[in-house]
Amino acid sequence: MPPFYLLLPNIRSSHNVGAMFRTADAFGVTKLFLVGYTPTPPRQDIHKVALGAEEWVPWEKRGKLLPLVKRLKQEGCFIAALEKTETSTTLPMGRGGRPLALIVGNEVTGVQKNVLELCDAVWHIPMQGKKESLNVSVAAGIALYALQPDPASHF
């Protein structure tokens, strides 16, 4: 399978980071990129929620998101953000044979506009309730499940 990256820029909660490590392990994410002030292991609060997944799921710390996105794009990654915007489309089911980098946003401010402009796609999760957003680790879990490999899928 081609690489599948999860980019976590400026996530405030170490519990969210731990949950995403655990979910990334469950769905075969190749590597997590912890960007900006996102907490990094080793931290007891990450370990507690990740149940140790941070010890074997590959991860890398990066200072800034834009250079990382540009580099992954140059390497042939399809860059997608999980964010509700006026032009976002529904999160697809499955993924094709290209490398994929999925960006999830900060718990309050989401994904920065200048990053969204570099993305090949901006996807949202359809919502039926009164709230217009989910916890970032819950949203990431839904997206990682939806983006499981499907040879018939194309983005």
Reply yes or no on whether the pLDDT at 151 is more than 70. no
In a domain, 154, yes or no: no
The per-residue pLDDT of the chain, averaged, comes to 94
In a domain, 109, yes or no: yes
Identify the domain containing residue 120 by its residue range.
4-146
Report the domain count for the chain. 1
Q: What is the pTM of this model?
A: 0.94
In a domain, 153, yes or no: no
Query: Rounded CA gap, 136 and 72, in Å?
Result: 22
In a domain, 152, yes or no: no
- The CATH number of whichever domain residue 53 belongs to comes to 3.40.1280.10
pLDDT band at 154 (very low <50, low <70, confident <90, very high): low
12 φ/ψ sector (left φ>0, alpha ψ -120 to 50, else beta): alpha
pLDDT 10s digits, 44-82: 999 999 999 999 999 999 999 999 999 999 999 999 999
Reply yes or no on whether the pLDDT at 11 is more than 90. yes
In a domain, 155, yes or no: no
